[in-house]
Chain A
Amino acid sequence: MEAVSELWRYRELFYFLAWRDVKVRYKQTALGVAWAVLQPLMTMVIFTLLFGTLGHMPSDGIPYPLFYFGALLPWTYFSATLSNSGNSLVVNANLLTKVYFPRVILPTSAAVSGLVDFAVGFILLLAIMAYYRIVPGWTLLLWPFLIVLLFALALGVSMILAALNVRYRDVKYTLPFLVQLWLFVTPVIYPISMIPERYRLFVALNPLSGVIDAFRASLVPAKQVDWQLLLMSSIVTLAIFTAAVVYFKKTERAFADII
């Protein structure tokens, strides 16, 4: 409880750090915030051509561009947060060793600043839906919940990585590889329906599967959200987040000494 009230006292610093991350991200770039959209957009085009047009990947009846962009938007947020937030403590080592503030602000503000990119991408997503004349069903209302879930998952994993990173810089080198692997075990390129029924539970152990599948499914009224899978994902996410908070609290006292 005390920790929460302390966080509240430091809310302005939290705001300024997130604001700095957003501000600095596209400084001195010609395209500016367009980069937030370009990355998932280009990936979507490539996936559509490669796996859709050439590979005839089943897409549960969703047009390929929407099928891919709907999953790439949350995926891009997740992978960007893992690397930004996972490196946040190490990158801000000079702050850690010079000023006191609740350490958890650093990974959290990095995760929050990524939401700006997500919001910009969401506008493009609506444009793609409009292009295909898809009227979203009530399931689009699921998005706020899904975003919270995605945020908690990304932040939870990042907090563990960030804390580990302080002691073992190996994390820095593992991160890109980890992100790459994670993409393949998550239904981004392929629909979850491609995985045989008897392995589904196994898939649910990767909490990102349920989240991304729900993001995608909630776009088109015709497709059903896999509630069971989403519930599993929520439980695993909650477990990861709790473990992350506990681990972070336990290790944060030594950050300034060993970073």
Chain B
Amino acid sequence: MPHSITVERVSKQYRLGEVDSDLLYERLIDWLKHPLHRHGTRKREAIWALKDVCLEVEQGEVLGIIGRNGAGKSTLLKVLSRITYPTSGSMKVNGRIAALLEVGTGFHGDLTGRENVFLNGSILGMTRKEITAKLDAIVSFAGVESFLDTPVKRYSSGMFLRLGFAVAAHLEPDVLVVDEVLAVGDAAFQKKCLNAMDEMRSGGRTVVFVSHNVAAVENLCSRAVWIDNGEVRLDGRPRDVIEAYMATNAEASRLAADLSRIQNRRGNGDARFTKLEFLNADAEPLKYLSSGDRVILRLHYEAVTHISRPDFEIGIYTDLGMLLTKFSTFTDYQITSISPGQGHLDLVIDCFSFLPGRYYLSLWLKIQGPTYFDVLEHCLQFDVESSDFYGSGKGISRYFGLVFLPCQWRLLHNPVESGLVEACPQP
């Protein structure tokens, strides 16, 4: 079977720093001083966004690309879609390729919905005939029938996005390259988008899909590639790749972590997490964590400045990167302020209701708005063990899903003898 995409030893170098505006001036001066010398570009620091990337994608494959921010995913996508050129190496695509790096590329606010469908469609590589034929389908997919002759600048942002995606969903390329466009829009619309992508997959098209949403990659893709530091770190079945990717973000399972030395963090540093501990009900360090335990999560922090109304957040993820729950002092409990210096706060969870398995934890320290003091993504990996919560001698299995809700069974009518079956021990 022919390869849809062949990427051979592709590397891409970027120069760091701004392209200074006085460069032309400097070059002119250089040239005037020594008109006969060869004057190359001034040396600036360079980084390799991609290093020797080799990739072959078969026709009909749906490839998911995962990796951290800045790992080179987007650069790879841009090389694949020919927006940018590799510094070395070569790339070949068989068939018509369409790149979807943004919803509604080239939309012009002054043009009407109809006019923008034609413009955007042709930018994405559709012919006028194709667009004319699909106009009705596009419009009803987006649900903007009555606004078709209104300039899109009067559209709500939701309508704008829906129209943009509707055009994209009706593309019929041989190879489709998609960047995180699914990250936008309401839930119903996202579902529509995922269905549209699913249809493309079943239609035998090759799809390359970049996302932070590893759960989406797991669901949609037949193969996954993990890009780390500009290189292909792992290539294989989505589940295997995602598990390996998630595992390197956090170290081995731990129930306490020194966070002060973690390098991979974002935020302005006005306040930082220093330590995280799982404690038992008596505030002693927890040896292991079981489903149904009463747990205290103790967060240590150090603040440089006085911060009013800080928002501490803890997120818990599955090993496939799906967010299970988030705790936030902003919604659950108001902290008026924290003062400079060290401090800690406890999150008491009466019943840790996750089934046995591996979980990840992320921490945010911020205030409402765009200010982040400290962000630690997937900084801790921990295992939840099976427990005999109901005292029945049988543990709660990990195969029961992700969460469990403490419960009681009552048998209220039994033809032989009526009675009550106690399913839960009274504490």
Residues of A within 8 A of B (CB): 12-13, 15-17, 20, 23-24, 27-28, 92, 94-101, 167-170, 253-254, 256-258
Contact = CB atoms under 8 A, between A and B. Distances in A.
A170 B24 CA distance: 10
Contact of B105 (A95, A167, A253): A95
17 contacts: A13-B123, A16-B119, A16-B123, A20-B108, A23-B110, A94-B102, A94-B106, A95-B123, A98-B99, A98-B101, A98-B102, A98-B105, A99-B101, A100-B81, A167-B24, A256-B78, A257-B14
A12 B128 contact: yes
Interchain residue pairs A-B with the least CB separation, the first 9: A100-B82, A27-B110, A16-B122, A98-B105, A253-B85, A256-B84, A98-B101, A13-B122, A256-B83
Contacts of A253: 85
B21 interface: yes
B365 interface: no
Interface of B: 14, 19, 21, 23-24, 78, 81-85, 99, 101-102, 105-106, 108, 110-111, 115, 118-119, 122-125, 127-128, 151
Q: Residue among B78, B105, B122, B128 with the most chain A CB within 10 A?
A: B122
Contact of B123 (A15, A99, A257): A99
Contacts of A98: 83, 99, 101-102, 105
Contacts of B110: 23-24, 27-28
B111 A94 contact: no
B83 A99 contact: yes
A168 B24 contact: yes
A167 B122 contact: no
Given A27-B151, A94-B105, A168-B23, 6 more contacts: A15-B122, A97-B83, A99-B101, A100-B81, A100-B99, A167-B19
A12 B99 contact: no
Given A170-B21, A170-B24, A99 B84 contact: no
Contacts of B118: 16
A23 B111 contact: yes
Contacts, number: 72
Contacts of B102: 94, 98
Given A12-B122, A12-B127, A253-B85, A258 B106 contact: no
Contacts of B125: 13
Contact of A24 (B24, B83, B111): B111
A28 B153 CA distance: 12
Contacts of A16: 118-119, 122-123, 128
B83 A100 contact: yes
Contacts of B101: 98-99
A170 B26 CA distance: 14
B149 to A, nearest CB: 13
Nearest to A95: B106
Nearest to B97: A100
Q: Residue among A12, A24, A28 with the most chain B CB within 10 A?
A: A12
Contacts of B111: 20, 23-24, 27
Contacts of B85: 253-254
Contacts of A23: 110-111, 115
B213 to A, nearest CB: 20
Nearest to A167: B19
A12 B83 CA distance: 19
A99 B108 contact: no
Contact of A257 (B82, B84, B106): B84
Contacts of B84: 256-257
A167 to B, nearest CB: 6
A12 B123 CA distance: 9
Contacts of B124: 99
Nearest to A92: B106
Contacts of B81: 99-100
Contact of B108 (A13, A24, A167, A168): A24
